[in-house]
Amino acid sequence: VISRVVAREIIDSRGNPTVEVDVELRDGSLGRAAVPSGASTGAREAVELRDGDPTRFHGKGVRRAVDAVNERIADAVTGLDAEDQAAVDATMTELDGTDTKSNLGANAILGVSLATAKAAATAHRLPLYRYVGGVDARLLPVPMMNIVNGGAHADNPLDFQEFMIAPIGAGSFAEAVRMGSEVFHTLRRSLLAAGHSVNVGDEGGFAPDLRTAEEALEFVVRAVEETGYKPGTDITLVMDPATSEFFRDGVYDYTGEGVRRTPAEHADYLAELVDRYPVASIEDPMAEDDHEGWRDLTARLGDRCQLTGDDVFCTNETLLRAGIRDGIANSILVKVNQIGTLTETLATVTAAHRAGYTVVMSHRSGETEDTTIADLAVATGCGQIKTGSLSRSDRTAKYNQLVRIEEELGDRARYAGREALGLRR
């Protein structure tokens, strides 16, 4: 039974304030959760409440969300059974009363939602992944490691936001981390040798002064090979061009590269990249408002490439169902703060799996030391996680948590491997 709920303003990986919540149960069990924050957000995400007071944190303070927890949500959920996650979450969404959680703030609600689950897990003396996922929660996800950053996450000219490596051929999660780390360091050396900066972007990947996706993909493929791995077999490539960020007036405006592509030309370009490079998965290949482009691309590439909807679905079950009906994407990115409660997040994952869509658990570009999503990836058995590069503790904290979970599961642990992406080639 929930006895105490306290929120505070802490600092995230970009140095911006965010919400942290402690939930305490009557037996003394404590759960703590910190809320992440995106930069390239989808238009239909649940609302992250910011104060807009220019005298604090350049307007980015989250005191209103903190107050919403301490003054309103705390009263409403105190006395509720922490094990009844659905009731706790429903109490908050009803108290909020809006479709987008704009009243209390999704950042307020999510903090309480996740901290409640963690407190309940503690009370049961269970790790979070087993409390949420049950006895069969033992599938370790393939990590999608974002080793080249561009777009809204770096100040280089790269139009595409993320270039990732996924060690599908690893025998275990720990081995996947080792492979990723080795490639990360090979890439560092080759970027330096070519005269590029090896400073990193928001998600810990390098942010070199490259202009085109081809240049980035060449560097990554060569780094995989030079490290001694086979591209496409041991390690496959994944991109998140985050196209909603550069879709303007019906065209894809590649400002870094200095070209504009119509939706058809943009689709041709993506298809060409998939033909030329071992790219097994593309997230947000089309913009959130370009439904026609999404449908056409899914029909064209969907049988040989995982096409993951981030901005187009916003972890929202209703948006996902509409997309399934319309033939949009074959995979969904899941970000807990896009929807704002654990209950709704799990419902979206279930709906995706029922429709044969793959699921990728994901961080945000603004993160904290909180590792909840690592446990949720195992709890849902989704088989894939995207949580940044092999540097910056806000990113590696999640990978390290998965290493611990794998160790704890011992012989029962299974590594998702290439099947997780629904790969057919």
Binding-site positions read 161, 240, 283, 310, 335, 364-365, 386
Site for Zn ion contains 240 (CB under 5 A) = yes
Within 240-381, where are the H helices?
263-276, 291-301, 317-326, 336-339, 342-354, 372-380
Residues 282/305, Cβ–Cβ less than 8 Å:
yes
236-240 and 247-248 strand pairing: unpaired
Active-site residue flag, 218: no
Q: In whole angstroms, what separates CA 341 from the centre of its chain?
A: 15
Q: Which of 18, 40, 298, 384 binds ligand PGA (CB under 6 A)?
A: 40
Site for ligand PGA contains 38 (CB under 6 A) = yes
Site for ligand PGA contains 47 (CB under 6 A) = no
Residue 394: contacted member of Zn ion, ligand PGA, none (CB under 5 to 8 Å, by partner type): none
- Look at residues 177, 103, 104, 185 and name the one whose alpha carbon lies nearest to residue 144: 177
Site for Zn ion contains 310 (CB under 5 A) = yes
Active-site residue flag, 335: yes
Give the shortest CB-364-to-ligand PGA separation in angstroms. 4
122 vs 362, beta carbon nearer ligand PGA: 362
164 vs 224, beta carbon nearer Zn ion: 164
With tokens 């560097």, the residue in question is: 219
Q: Which residue is nearest to ligand PGA (CB)?
A: 38
Within 8 A by CB and 6+ apart from 195, the residues are none
Site for ligand PGA contains 204 (CB under 6 A) = no
Q: Which of 30, 39, 174, 271 binds ligand PGA (CB under 6 A)?
A: 39
Q: Structure tokens of 296?
A: 């056409």
C-alpha distances out from residue 288 to 205, 335, 363, Å: 25, 16, 19
Binding residues for Mg(2+): 240, 283, 310
With tokens 């993320």, the residue in question is: 162
Element (H, E) at 307: strand 306-309
Site for Zn ion in 271-290 (CB under 5 A): 283-284
Site for ligand PGA contains 244 (CB under 6 A) = no
263 vs 366, beta carbon nearer ligand PGA: 366
Active-site residue set: 203, 335
Applying CB under 6 A, which residues contact ligand PGA?
Answer: 38-41, 240, 242, 310, 362, 364-365
